[in-house]
Structure 1
Amino acid sequence: MCRSIKTLRPPALPEEATEDDIRAAALQYVRKVSGFRAPAAHNREVFEQAVDEIAEATRKLLEGLEVRGSGGAGAKQPVREPVTVSGAA
């Protein structure tokens, strides 16, 4: 387990995780798995692509999680507000 990666959902964070938080966690994960703190030039593209993909997967995960029990009995607290599409009613 990589100790540098923090929990990014409430109540571990007092507010929503930022893009910087998500990117830092993805970078730490890729560093741990690859064994490289900084990749050589010939590995840089695949390294950065992995960080981008893991950051995107992390965003999707955090957007989909429901945190229950932190606001009273049976309370549901989504990590982010759902996106609404205006138009057809």
Structure 2
Amino acid sequence: MCRSIKTLRPPALPEEATEDEIRAAALQYVRKVSGFRAPAAHNKEVFERAVAAVAEATAELLSDLEVRGTPAQRAG
């Protein structure tokens, strides 16, 4: 996959991922699968929609994951 996409969950990221971190990962993913660093004007809208959709799916995934051994789960 794309080496510049970092892991956005504990323990790799000690705190909850920010919207900016999630969007940056989504942008890298869309760039990788589309083969475009920046889309041409006629593809800009579809490119941005894809980034938004991937960011939304990523945020949902991160919020629903159960990561064993995280401090919040050990305390409970």
Q: Same fold (TM over 0.5)?
A: yes
Give the unaligned 5+ runs of structure 1: 78-89
| 1:9-58, Cα deviation, whole Å (9 max, x unpaired) | 01101211000000000000000000000000000000000000000000
Q: Report the Cα distance in structure 2 between the residues aligned to 1:40 and 1:50, rounded to whole angstroms.
A: 15
Give the TM-score of the pair, scaled to structure 2: 0.91
Q: Report the Cα distance in structure 2 between the residues aligned to 1:57 and 1:13, rounded to whole angstroms.
A: 18
Where do 4+ consecutive residues of structure 1 move more than 6 Å? Answer: none
More helix per residue: 1 or 2? 2
Query: Of the two, which has the highest radius of gyration?
Result: 1
Give the TM-score of the pair, scaled to structure 1: 0.78
More strand per residue: 1 or 2? 1
Length, aligned pairs only? 74
Percent identity of equivalent pairs: 81
Matched residue of 2:8: which SS? Answer: coil
Q: Report the Cα distance in structure 2 between the residues aligned to 1:63 and 1:17, rounded to whole angstroms.
A: 10
Alignment RMSD: 1.4
